[in-house]
Structure 1
Amino acid sequence: MELINERLILAYGLNDMEKEKLNSVLSKQGILPCKVMEKNLGELTIKEILCNIEAKESNIELPHEKLLLFNNYQDKQLYALIDSIKEVKDPQTILATVTKTSINWTLRYLLQHLIEEREAYRER
């Protein structure tokens, strides 16, 4: 499946103050505010979230994690962006990019996968 060409940051699990600080940094750089992913989007794929598909009612439990998911950023842009937001993000926040594979995963599956990757990395 194709990637979505819009340059966007999807955010999950941030509190209001964290969202405000992040969006302030983004605004100063002329970047759109982050798009917040709520728990009710857990069963939607990342592509559906990027395309603004309406969420279905869902009672699934999503992990209590913080995630910033970057869509359509080139490596150089991404590294500069991460450097600029590192002061306003929680050190435990998971950072990831949308890939040709992950765009087809549900938010719930992506979070589970990223948590497993983080734990495997910590064990090494």
Structure 2
Amino acid sequence: MTFKNLKELDTTESRSCALVFNFNNKELIKIKSVFRLSGISDIIILKNDNLNTPIKDILNDNLLEDSKEKINSRAIIFNNIESRKISAVSDNLKKLKVQRPLLATVTETSINWDLKNLLYNLQEEAISLNSSKISIHKNS
């Protein structure tokens, strides 16, 4: 029987990283500092050129740069990051007044989607959440 160090078993699913899409340089500086404070050091910066790349390929550093489409939304997609770190990132982005991006985690389903499909789904989800009306009843 042989044993391997867990760090040597670098499978796509175990890579702890954040995919950062469509932020300008000023915002990226803030985001990188928030990630550093939250203990997230592996950051993959993506742009519209990468929209046709499957998430699994992005996690393996195999980026396509052939997309002519454009998506204006900004997004942060977490892969194998603890929920407390994700919450810390979200809270600290608010404190630094970074406009709230679309936030997601890579799932068993979305890992096989291309970036464009994932972003479209996130946009639809955001629209759906924003359009639902919640009434708050006050006790008199």
TM-score tier (shorter): 0.7 to 0.9
Match status 1:52 vs 2:58: no
1:8-34 alpha-carbon deviations (Å, 9 max, x no partner): 011001000111111122234443152
State TM-score, norm by structure 2: 0.76
**How many residues were matched structurally?**
122
Q: Could you say what the CA RMSD is over the residues aligned between the two structures, in angstroms?
A: 2.0
The one-letter code sitting in structure 2 at the alignment partner of 1:43 is: N
Identity of aligned residues (%): 30
- Which residue is equivalent to 2:50? 41
1:38-61 alpha-carbon deviations (Å, 9 max, x no partner): 2111111111111011415232x1
- Closer, same or farther: CA 114–89 of 1 in aligned 2, 3 Å: farther
Match status 1:62 vs 2:102: no
Alpha-carbon distance in structure 1 between the residues aligned to 2:63 and 2:127: 32
- Which residue is equivalent to 1:85? 93
Paired residue for 2:124, among 100, 113, 116?
116
| Structure 2 unaligned spans of 5+ | 1-10, 133-140
The one-letter code sitting in structure 2 at the alignment partner of 1:116 is: E
| Structure 1 unaligned spans of 5+ | none
Which protein is bigger by CA-based radius of gyration?
A: 2
State TM-score, norm by structure 1: 0.85
Large movers: runs of 4+ above 6 Å: none
